[in-house]
Amino acid sequence: MAAVKQKVLIVDDDYNIADLISLYLKKECYDTMIVGDGEAALEAVSSYQPDLILLDLMLPGMDGYQVCRQVRSAQDTPIIMLSAKGEIFDKVLGLEMGADDYMEKPFDSKELMARVKAVLRRYHKPAAAPAAAASDEKIVEYPYLRINLTSYSVTYMDAPLEMPPKELELLYCLAASPGRVFTREQLLSQIWGYDYAGETRTVDVHIKRIREKIHDTPYWRIATVYGIGYKFDTAPQNK
């Protein structure tokens, strides 16, 4: 049986660029669909059910930020933003809206393919392992917090917590090495999984998202090590 192709939705009103991106993707055996505006993008997310969205910011009518916000309000389909805007503000805003990556136009086709593969790899959740292999699960547990990297699940305050893969992997990386200080560069390398060319600000944005979902306890916290990076601190905070 032939392998099912992963689907990529390309949202860009410049059809020359969109067709070129589609060509690159098809050479890598992806299935593609092209739409040219935000409304069509939201319809395609529902009907086409892509595995990844390549989203241009400058769209007629509803812009890319609005599309990203609406997609994120309903689901965790990974999104890579594409834009001629190269300012740090635009990149940070895109990430805070829920994008998984941000590429500035013009971009190199090989870098685009590397980022597409990396993001899809992060969102691919492995099938459940047999019971006999349960001991191989990657799990860290603390009071009120359980992170299972094998099943990509988080339990917080005894309730399941929805968390996108990059956030979960970042939290697991810190929690699996309590007390260890990670620089932003180290976290970029470990979590993004390749020679990521983005700003270290990306780490700060994802830490901010995690802190909005889980909060410090008397048993552990995500601590900022100023001028360096972050660590998972297990020293009691209320003595």
Contacts of 215 by beta carbon, 8 Å cutoff, 6+ apart: none
* pLDDT above 70 coverage of the chain, percent: 88
Q: Strands, DSSP E only, in the chain?
A: 7-11, 31-35, 52-56, 79-83, 101-104, 139-142, 145-148, 153-156, 159-161, 182-183, 221-225, 229-233
Whether 100 and 11 map to the same domain: the answer is: yes
- pLDDT band for position 236 (cuts 50, 70, 90): low
Q: How far apart are CA 167 and CA 196, in angstroms?
A: 16
Task: Give the predicted TM-score (pTM) of the model.
Answer: 0.59
Determine the residue type at 82.
L
Q: List, for residues 107-118, the tens digit of each pLDDT value.
A: 888 888 988 988
Whether 59 and 153 map to the same domain: the answer is: no
User: Last residue of some domain: 82, 98, 123?
Assistant: 123
Q: How far apart are CA 234 and CA 232, in angstroms?
A: 6
- pLDDT band for position 31 (cuts 50, 70, 90): very high
Q: List, for residues 160-215, the tens digit of each pLDDT value.
A: 998 888 899 999 999 999 888 998 888 888 887 655 555 668 889 899 999 999 99
Helices (H) and strands (E) counted in the chain, each on its own, are: 8, 12
The whole-number pLDDT of residue 143 equals 87
Q: List, for residues 12-25, the tens digit of each pLDDT value.
A: 999 899 999 999 99
Q: How far apart are CA 44 and CA 34, in angstroms?
A: 9
| 181's tokens | 């200080």
The total number of structural domains in the chain stands at 2
The CATH number linked to 85 is: 3.40.50.2300
The CATH number linked to 159 is: 1.10.10.10
